[in-house]
Amino acid sequence: MSEKPVISIVSPAYNEEEGIVDFINAVADVMAGGDLSWELVIVNDGSRDRTLEILQEKSQSLEQLVWVDLSRNFGHQAAVTAAIDHSVGDAVVVMDADMQDPPALIPQLISSWQDGHQVVFARRTQRAETGMRRVGFALFHKFFRYAIAFPIPRNVGVFSLLDRRAVNEIKNLPESNRFLPGLYSWVGFKQGFVDYARDERSAGAPKQTFQSLFKYAFDGVLSFSYKPIRFLGGIGLLTAFSAFAIAVYFTARRLLGHEVAFTGFTTLVILISMLGGLILVAIALVGEYIARIYDEVKQRPMYIVQGTARDSESS
Ligand code: UDP
Ligand code: MG
Which atom of ligand 1 approaches the CA of 14 most closely?
11
CA dihedral (115, 118, 124, 128) positive or negative = positive
Establish whether residue 16 lines the binding site of ligand 1, counting it when its CB lies within 6 angstroms of any ligand atom: yes
Q: What is the 3-state secondary structure (H, E, C) of 260-309?
A: CCCCCHHHHHHHHHHHHHHHHHHHHHHHHHHHHHHHHHHCCCCCCEEEEH
Element (H, E) at 6: strand 6-13
Q: Using CA atoms, how far apart are residues 113 and 100, in angstroms rounded to an integer?
A: 21
Nearest ligand, CA 201: 2
Q: Which of 80, 60, 111, 112 minimizes the C-alpha distance to 9?
A: 80
Q: Using CA atoms, how far apart are residues 120 and 218, in angstroms rounded to an integer?
A: 24
Nearest ligand, CA 11: 1
Ligand 1 pocket, mutate which of 10, 11, 14, 158 (most atoms under 8 A from CB): 14
Number of domains into which the chain is organized? 2
Can you give the pLDDT at residue 315?
A: 43
1 is a domain residue: no
Give the residue ranges of the chain where pLDDT is below 50.
1, 314-315
Nearest ligand, CA 210: 1
Burial label, 82 (beta-carbon count in 10 A; 0-12, 13-18, 19+):
buried
Together in a domain, 122 and 136:
yes
Helices assigned H by DSSP within 205-264: 210-222, 227-255
Establish whether residue 76 lines the binding site of ligand 1, counting it when its CB lies within 6 angstroms of any ligand atom: yes
CA dihedral (306, 308, 104, 109) positive or negative = positive
133 is a domain residue: yes
What spacing in Å lies between the alpha carbon of 276 and ligand 2's midpoint?
A: 39
Give how far Cα 218 sits from Cα of 17, 222, 285, 292, Å. 30, 6, 10, 10
Together in a domain, 240 and 193:
no
Can you give the pLDDT at residue 96?
A: 93
3-state secondary structure of 27: helix
Which atom of ligand 1 approaches the CA of 11 most closely?
15
CA 107 from centroid of its chain's CA atoms: 24
Ligand 1 pocket, mutate which of 68, 71, 77, 207 (most atoms under 8 A from CB): 207
Specify the CATH number for the domain of residue 91: 3.90.550.10
Together in a domain, 200 and 236:
no
Can you give the pLDDT at residue 119?
A: 94
Give how far Cα 132 sits from Cα of 102, 204, 210, Å. 23, 18, 10
Nearest ligand, CA 16: 1
Q: Which of 140, 146, 174, 176 minimizes the C-alpha distance to 291?
A: 176
Can you give the pLDDT at residue 294?
A: 92
Query: Across the chain, how many H-helices and E-strands are there?
Result: 11, 8
Together in a domain, 242 and 169:
no
Q: Which amino acid is present at 255?
A: L
309 is a domain residue: yes
Give per-residue pLDDT as tens, 178-197. 889 889 988 889 999 999 88
Together in a domain, 207 and 249:
no
Host domain of residue 239:
227-298
Establish whether residue 13 lines the binding site of ligand 1, counting it when its CB lies within 6 angstroms of any ligand atom: yes
Together in a domain, 182 and 73:
yes
125 is a domain residue: yes
Establish whether residue 223 lines the binding site of ligand 1, counting it when its CB lies within 6 angstroms of any ligand atom: no
Together in a domain, 17 and 95:
yes
Give the relative orientation of helices 51-61 and 20-33 as an angle to the nearest 10 degrees: 30
Establish whether residue 169 lines the binding site of ligand 1, counting it when its CB lies within 6 angstroms of any ligand atom: no
Q: Using CA atoms, how far apart are residues 236 and 285, in angstroms rounded to an integer?
A: 14
Which atom of ligand 1 approaches the CA of 157 most closely?
25
Q: How far apart are the first and last CA of the chain?
A: 31
Together in a domain, 255 and 110:
no
Q: Using CA atoms, how far apart are residues 84 and 12, in angstroms rounded to an integer?
A: 10
Beta strands in 75-155 (DSSP E): 91-94, 119-126
